[in-house]
Structure 1
Amino acid sequence: MTIASRTHLVLIPSFNTGPILADTVRAARAAWNPVWVVVDGSTDGFDRALEAMAAADPGLRLLRLPRNGGKGAALLHGMEAALAAGFTHALAMDADGQHPANEIPAMMAASAAAPRALVLGVPVFGPEAPAIRVRGRRVSNFWANLETLWAGIGDSLFGFRVYPLAPLVAEMRRTRWMRRYDFDAEAAVRLSWRGLPMINRPVPVRYLAREEGGVTHFRYGRDNLLLTGMHLRLLSGFLLRLPLLAMRRLARSRPAAMTDS
């Protein structure tokens, strides 16, 4: 049986994920303790199976929001509750079965070894991954790296990450943004601006077909407009921070330059 961590938990936001939600939660619980699920105003009824699971499993906690507020809003709700309970870090994991639960221990170990760092999963796509999604994320990755002067964000959109809770919650409380699909990219950029180190770990990702229970709430036009607006906002913040970011980049490159000489 997995020993319960007092510092690191798995946090799974879910909105109308369907029957695969229970499978995702079981896999996460087999890999880690504790696991919290934030039901973000779901109406499909599949979250009810988690009530019986949570009643019989002290390592599983279910949080509910009355209305759908978006991924970032659900994670913020869970992270604030985690901070109040004494946790310091949370691994965010999608409920739709794309993220591999067997990678949770390695991600948590990387975080425990470097607690100030943001541990980023970098997706390794299979042949089933939609080409439009694989190519499209390159645009967001370019802008996120520009906005941080290439501080080490391996992938700006992949949501399988271990976050230090205190700095992320502080950033989210300062803004009304970062509540929906813009959460993943903006969280990485803003934590980089705070000076948090980035640790990148390759992680296989699986896109499930509809007949396998796959579900997506991604809307190409709507969500790309949201990302575009987010990067326009971040660019203004980038320009204000440019001198500081440039000094940090110079400091990162200086040891390498000395070694080469």
Structure 2
Amino acid sequence: MIFNPCFLIPCYNHGRTLLAVIDALQTDFDYPVLVIDDASSYPTQSIINTLKAPTMVHRLDNNQGKGGAVMAGLKKAKKLGFSHAIQIDADGQHDLNALPELILNAKKYSNNIISGAPIYDESVPKGRLYGRYLTHFWVWVETLSFSIKDSMCGFRVYPVGAVNQVIANNNIGKRMDFDIEIMVKSFWEGIDIRFIDIKVIYPEDGLSHFQPIADNLRITKMHTCLVFGMLRRLPKLLLRKKPKAEKLEHWSKQSESGTYYGMKFLLGIYSLFGRSVFKMCLKPILYYYSLFSKKSVRASTLYLQYLTEYMRKNNIPVTDNLTVYQHLLSFAETMLDKLAAWKGDFTPENLTINNRDVVEKAQNSPQGCLILGSHLGNLELFRALSQSYPELKINALVFTEHAPRFNAVLSAVNPDANLNVIEVNKMGPETAILLSQKIEEGEWVVIVGDRTSTTMSQKVIWADFLGHKAPFPQGPFILASLLKAPVYLLFGLRNESSQQAHFDLHFELFSSQIILPRGKREEALQSVVEKYAQRLQHYTLKAPLQWYNFFNFWTLTGNDDEK
């Protein structure tokens, strides 16, 4: 397919912002602009009448609604010979800096719908935000998929021929229900949908055509019909395959799932109704996820298999709740715990600190320390709760780019969430020097010891974990030896026996200083890593469902046989 697009702008009384949008498009792009005037009033019509080529205008005699205007524009685009229509709202809400990436994806995946997935600032009305996430939930149900990350954003590229066929085959809503319905029915007809992140703002004096009562009733009716439509298509939807074949990837390259994206919606539920209602909403989502998220289910199944084999071999009682569903549910609850902690909902009363004397000794030392954590339990919780102790400065090395949406939610909950975060994927000599300075100033540095480097995944030490050899990164332990500081272990585990949210922090001295002598460096490194693996295993057995490495932990990227 030859890529021959046009910009498609539906407009109803947005004359004040329309010209600025068109000027921005024509400054940076050579594509024609097609404006659909949805029977605007005279002031906007007079502005539209001033538009000149290469801008084209198609005027509707009667107001059709946004959906009607877009459908009229798609039909016009097909008649004019365009291959794709790049839909942009006339109100100026969308960040046009994202257009190059949107267009690049449309060229690469020419048969797909490419859509923006909004990242909002504080200007978004909270009522519309929470309503949006409720819509996300129903769309997941209607498609039996997390593929549609956002169904309401008007920043899209449509393949003109394919989408016009969807419109011809279906009765599509013409007003605020259009954006959602065209996504769901396109998905039903086999069109894959891809997303890029975009920033969206709501100007204080912005004009909205959303009618709360009429449009909400219209959307509710639409969702009811779509759910029944899903039931008729149930076998077909269950057999539908993802657009891209799965490959064994390094953990850092695995894209975040709909569970992360849905955390914004679930956070809203938690804020409004509390933890109990949150958990009720979470269960059906996680039940579906446990059935159809192949990568996570495969990783969880392998982990639980190794875990139970080890427990039986060592005469450790195996409980009935060691299932994939319960494992994923525990992970989702921990995501909420992270956000709730930053939100300030937890106090020291929610926390039991084991070995408090060890903590106080480390805190009172003029020299800082290195803390080795893991993806067992909730390391974020400790960093959040430490905000209650301003004299304690903690710096965390994290792979922040692995979950940009979750970090965006975290930052929205608490603007200070990323205050002392250092991205581990940018680790270099300057970072090591910075960390050394922080430790000299009495600060703490936290790094995880259970994930291989994003750039040097082959530099590992193999050690026993749950009865099988697993690769552990060399980096954290070499860094610890270079910093010449005390090393502690930290595990934050949720107390599952407590009715209220309660957590146990386990803080213990790992080594007063890790020394890797010349000539025996490899042997010393092997010994240190094995000791870490043993302690990690010890605490994993205390809280087996709080193991959150959802990839094949016992293999290197692309190599299942190397041990």
Provide the TM-score with structure 2 as the length reference: 0.42
- The alpha carbon displacement at 1:77 in A equals 1.2
- Is 1:239 matched with 2:228? no
- For residues 244 and 227 of structure 1, the distance between their equivalents in structure 2, rounded to whole angstroms, comes to 25
Change (3 A) 1:31 1:144: farther
User: Hey, what does 1:49 align to over in structure 2?
Assistant: 47
Change (3 A) 1:157 1:254: closer
- Within 5 Å, which residues of 2 pair with 1:117-156? 117-156=112-151
- Is 1:15 matched with 2:12? yes
Deviates more, 1:163-172 or 1:185-194: 163-172
Change (3 A) 1:125 1:254: closer
Out of 192, 197, 200, the residue aligned to residue 195 of structure 2 is: 200
- For residues 230 and 147 of structure 1, the distance between their equivalents in structure 2, rounded to whole angstroms, comes to 11
Q: Secondary structure at the match of 1:124?
A: strand
Question: In structure 2, what residue type is equivalent to 1:71?
Answer: K
User: Hey, what does 1:83 align to over in structure 2?
Assistant: 78
Contact map agreement 1:147 1:189 (CA 8 A) in 2: yes
User: Hey, what does 2:100 align to over in structure 1?
Assistant: 105
- The alpha carbon displacement at 1:167 in A equals 2.1
- The alpha carbon displacement at 1:196 in A equals 1.6
Change (3 A) 1:59 1:106: farther
User: Hey, what does 1:219 align to over in structure 2?
Assistant: 211
User: Hey, what does 2:23 align to over in structure 1?
Assistant: 26
Question: In structure 2, what residue type is equivalent to 1:8?
Answer: P
Larger CA Rg, structure 1 vs 2: 2
Change (3 A) 1:234 1:29: same
Question: In structure 1, what residue type is equivalent to 2:28?
Answer: A
Q: Secondary structure at the match of 1:98?
A: coil
* Structure 2 residue ranges without an equivalent (≥5): 247-291, 300-550, 553-559
- For residues 48 and 202 of structure 2, the distance between their equivalents in structure 1, rounded to whole angstroms, comes to 23
Contact map agreement 2:3 2:84 (CA 8 A) in 1: no
- Is 1:179 matched with 2:174? yes
- The alpha carbon displacement at 1:254 in A equals 8.7
Contact map agreement 2:166 2:189 (CA 8 A) in 1: no
Q: Secondary structure at the match of 1:53?
A: coil
Deviates more, 1:28-37 or 1:157-166: 28-37
Deviates more, 1:29-38 or 1:222-231: 29-38
- CA RMSD in angstroms comes to 2.2
Contact map agreement 1:39 1:65 (CA 8 A) in 2: yes
Q: Secondary structure at the match of 1:19?
A: helix
Contact map agreement 1:18 1:215 (CA 8 A) in 2: no
The structure, 1 or 2, with the larger RCO (C-alpha pairs under 8 Å, 6+ apart) is 1
Per-residue CA deviation, residues 50-93 of structure 1 (Å, 9 max, x unaligned), is 33331xxx321111011101111111111111111211111111
Contact map agreement 1:151 1:198 (CA 8 A) in 2: no
- For residues 49 and 18 of structure 1, the distance between their equivalents in structure 2, rounded to whole angstroms, comes to 6
- The alpha carbon displacement at 1:29 in A equals 2.3
Identity of aligned residues (%): 32
- For residues 201 and 241 of structure 2, the distance between their equivalents in structure 1, rounded to whole angstroms, comes to 34
Deviates more, 1:138-147 or 1:100-109: 100-109
- For residues 45 and 65 of structure 1, the distance between their equivalents in structure 2, rounded to whole angstroms, comes to 16
Contact map agreement 2:111 2:162 (CA 8 A) in 1: no
Contact map agreement 2:101 2:196 (CA 8 A) in 1: no
Change (3 A) 1:255 1:76: same
Change (3 A) 1:46 1:81: same
Deviates more, 1:95-104 or 1:106-115: 95-104
User: Hey, what does 1:167 align to over in structure 2?
Assistant: 162
- For residues 166 and 123 of structure 2, the distance between their equivalents in structure 1, rounded to whole angstroms, comes to 35
Contact map agreement 1:9 1:35 (CA 8 A) in 2: yes
- For residues 49 and 248 of structure 1, the distance between their equivalents in structure 2, rounded to whole angstroms, comes to 47
- The alpha carbon displacement at 1:39 in A equals 0.3
Out of 33, 36, 42, the residue aligned to residue 35 of structure 1 is: 33
- For residues 142 and 36 of structure 2, the distance between their equivalents in structure 1, rounded to whole angstroms, comes to 30
Provide the TM-score with structure 1 as the length reference: 0.89
User: Hey, what does 1:94 align to over in structure 2?
Assistant: 89
Change (3 A) 1:31 1:230: farther
- The alpha carbon displacement at 1:18 in A equals 3.7
- The alpha carbon displacement at 1:45 in A equals 1.8
- For residues 43 and 23 of structure 2, the distance between their equivalents in structure 1, rounded to whole angstroms, comes to 17
| Count of residue correspondences | 251
- The alpha carbon displacement at 1:255 in A equals 7.3
- For residues 248 and 151 of structure 1, the distance between their equivalents in structure 2, rounded to whole angstroms, comes to 13
Contact map agreement 1:31 1:105 (CA 8 A) in 2: no
Deviates more, 1:126-135 or 1:100-109: 100-109
Per-residue CA deviation, residues 137-188 of structure 1 (Å, 9 max, x unaligned), is 0111111111111151011111111111122212222344321111100011
